[in-house]
Amino acid sequence: MTTPSPLHDAPLLDIRDLRTQFGFGPATVNAVQGVDLRIAPGEIVGLVGESGSGKSVLALSIMRLIQKPGRIAGGKILFDGRDVLAMSARDLGRWRGRDIGIIFQQPQGCLNPVRRIGWQVAEPLRQQERLSRKGAWDGAVALLRSVGIPAPEQKALAYPHQLSGGQAQRVMIAIALALRPRLLIADEPTTALDVTIQAQILELLRDSCRHAGTSLLLVTHDLGVVARLADRVAVMYAGRIVEDGPVATMLDHPAHPYARGLLRAAPRLGQSVGERLQDIPGGIPDLSRPTAGCAFAPRCGRRASLALARCREEMPPLDPVAPGHRLRCWAAPDATGDGP
């Protein structure tokens, strides 16, 4: 399959200068700060960063699921040219499920504990496809079979507490894919699962999206997950995209010091037993306190003395450095530059 180019093809999702805030006055937290991100039809994009970097808030913002006191404070979210922020509640209801779906990291908490699994999968088919009860039930069983649920006719009669974590996540994938959405957002979909089940779920997500031509935004802190699935990677730090590019470029030659730090902090194949990972000193800044310069500057290990003052005083733009590759850094390195 040819990977689409987000910079040249018409995007399915086009996010422009998106800003999401929580609270009011001096305590306002700027969780998403001017994010620009494009996802092309059929493309799998990994969104990576530490906890608190704004990944999940961005995912919820795209779906317009931000709850008060949170709010989308500015920017645009265009889906196939339609302005999502201008949609009525009725249009949003039709758009969610049919055109865009989401999978959360805690499947057991998202399933209704007192309804049988089959009816929870059948519900979107009944509401959106106007199927009969039998038609929706048969469709639900077929979906459960397609995501690898064993004995789907019997499992459809089960309640959520009777499923394993891996089975519950498969059910959530079945619900998300029920209406064949054009874009699927998966927010840390394998965090609560053991390693073997994680691999199965990731393969299921990849194969299901490739088969249906569905675009996927995979939100994760795990670069191994990204390496397995993604066409392109966007790195988020303190509410901003600091680098994005093709997966091979981002894993082999990341340019931003934060992206390099994430890569060095991840376990790697062939690592010796007892070898310590290289963590990134410090932590994500307080997002209620505006920063004039680069938010990563206090943690950056670069010794670029000429750039240091500018890094602390002026926010770098997210500029193209190569075809399909963007970087937010004043001390833009080459592939062999020093990192944290």
For the entire predicted model, the pTM comes to 0.89
Give the DSSP H or E segment for 166.
helix 165-177
Number of domains, the chain: 1
In a domain, 7, yes or no: no
In a domain, 143, yes or no: yes
The residues that bridge with 22 in the sheet, in sequence order, are: 29, 70
- Residue 157: per-residue pLDDT: 97
In a domain, 231, yes or no: no
Which tens digit of pLDDT belongs to each residue from 231-244? 999 999 999 999 99
In which domain, by residue range, is 129 found?
107-180
In a domain, 63, yes or no: no
The amino acid that residue 259 corresponds to is: A
Using 50 as the pLDDT threshold, list the residues of the chain that sit under it.
1-8, 269-273, 304-305, 334-340
In a domain, 160, yes or no: yes
Q: Distance (Å, rounded) from C-alpha 36 to C-alpha 18?
A: 7
Structure tokens at 250: 């981002």
- Residue 225: per-residue pLDDT: 83
Q: Please say whether the beta carbons of 136 and 143 come within 8 A.
A: no
In a domain, 153, yes or no: yes
In a domain, 135, yes or no: yes
- Residue 334: per-residue pLDDT: 47
In a domain, 162, yes or no: yes
